[in-house]
Structure 1
């Protein structure tokens, strides 16, 4: 029987955040749902309750530090001490960098990066005095590897990576029992590709391969329960990208310059709506759910995610296998 926890999920109204909220709800947790879109918040609150958890919907813009701190007060007043805080909210724009206005770039940074910083601060204000709690940063392969047409988003995710590493070192220095970890995701089938501002010739799309948001949600829930690992890589494409970037970043620059423009749009009319400045759960303000329009191609499982979760057990098994093999060789030499 799992101990029921109080969990905060930002960006909970759709996409990965929505799948994460439902996954925690299925554990019976008390889940606080933070986002701007009220239709999505109401819908995911119902889903969390149907899954077996308790839900509290709190409309808030994560780029507003005071409002986010007030939201944390509301959560603790109604659900008790926060055990897990998941920073997932983000904003984006698909366009070449010269076509992104300063205000647009600032807004993406404030929501994606500073929203994470402010969420982490709100969590730490409550966790540090109690000396317990877990913060999960929802990252991306793009936290290590920038790609064209997403300069604002990539910059923000890189910033989160550096911020989280710095914070983790500080917590380790003080011997704190508050933990932070990061989950690096692949491309995910979410409604964001019909929401973000795009100045591309066709509809925005994720770079294949694409995974379902439930794959990401399982990883986040696992990371929350095992936060001593500094990060988790989800999806073979994430692992391949990060390894290639570490080994041959210059070659990867040239490869992405040739391929990543076409890989991020479809040759059909684009959807010009953008949720950068105002909340929207979907066209006309309707609830959009967790999935985008890529269900036919999206993968529901990730073998690499399984290996990431089982890394310690696999290492022990490999070590035992090596010991057994050495013992057999030693016996064969004496006979």
Structure 2
């Protein structure tokens, strides 16, 4: 029997790449996002790659919309095996330049959207005592950076919410699993359509990974959900360890470098942004999985190999800690 996999934020970026991956496995893939154009393109890809798609136009900030999508998923394909929360929105700006309405919107999508998706998944999984929820997190959920207060706050909240829920599932002896795949900087279309008040075009902090790296991490977490979380990309491991070893030094380093590191030399994008409305409509069109940084993004990560081979994990962890220590020393030099 094929797996039934629900993916929020499936029209672009990591969600789109993850949908392609599961399609190659022959899965039934339920695609949830706000933009119908991107979802229809994603559905065509899923069908071409060997999966069966179901398009559900919904805003994850709306619990009723998410619940209706979950109903449609099970009516069409049967019990949901894996639910992947991936949808998000953000604003690139100093905190004082983000309005209350904007901050609330980011929180509703990027945090409460995960809560809503998890609620709908568990409503169906708990009575059957099986199923897996994967939260697509971020290294920024443990180590915040400037210019992304709303996003970092939401990703921190996801970690706290998920840890609390995990203990409840353990208490009841449930065979439903929940895990987090913590992401590095990824080359997604968000940097073309994000709401930004920066002087220059926003960009992910290098090194940058392709969304297929992220998708493989998500699928691996879904296949092996007993661990609390998975770190995708060596930079995620190094960032988190550096923060644990010397958070105050990292604060000062990011205060000095974090503004420039998130901006290119080109002018910022003009026109549409996706904070309140989807942008996979004219004149923007479907955006696919990749953003504008293909020339510098990595298609592989050595950390992927370590995760898949437990014997090498200890060596990799030691290397990551050593790298973090060296990084902290560089910050003080």
- TM-score, L = length of structure 2: 0.92
CA distance in 2, matches of 1:85, 1:40: 20
Distance 1:294 1:317, change over 3 A: closer
Q: Secondary structure of the equivalent of 1:281?
A: coil
1:91–1:153 CA contact under 8 A, matched in 2:
yes
CA distance in 1, matches of 2:280, 2:232: 26
- 2:324 aligned residue: none
Deviation of residue 305 (structure 1)? 2.2
Instruction: Name which of structure 1's ranges 121-130 and 168-177 shifts more when overlaid on structure 2.
Output: 168-177
- 1:293 aligned residue: 292
Q: Deviations over 1:167-224 (max 9, x none)?
A: 1111111110000010001000000001111100010100000000000001111111
1:39–1:285 CA contact under 8 A, matched in 2:
no
CA distance in 1, matches of 2:282, 2:304: 33
The answer to whether structure 1 residue 167 and structure 2 residue 165 are counterparts is yes
CA distance in 2, matches of 1:245, 1:274: 32
Q: Unaligned regions of 5+ residues in structure 2, if any? A: 317-333
1:132–1:177 CA contact under 8 A, matched in 2:
yes
2:234–2:303 CA contact under 8 A, matched in 1:
yes
Q: Deviations over 1:132-169 (max 9, x none)?
A: 00000000000100000000000000000000111111
Q: Deviations over 1:28-54 (max 9, x none)?
A: 000000001111100110111111110
Q: Secondary structure of the equivalent of 2:83?
A: strand
How do 1:91-130 and structure 2 match up within 5 A? 91-130=89-128
- 1:308 aligned residue: 307
Of structures 1 and 2, the larger Rg is shown by 1
Runs of 4+ in 1 over 2 A off after TM superposition: 308-311, 313-318
2:307–2:313 CA contact under 8 A, matched in 1:
no
Aligned Cα RMSD in Å?
1.5
Distance 1:315 1:261, change over 3 A: closer
Q: From 220, 223, 226, give the equivalent of 1:225.
A: 223
CA distance in 2, matches of 1:306, 1:104: 39
- 1:6 aligned residue: 4
Q: Unaligned regions of 5+ residues in structure 1, if any? A: 319-335
CA distance in 1, matches of 2:278, 2:67: 20
- TM-score, L = length of structure 1: 0.92
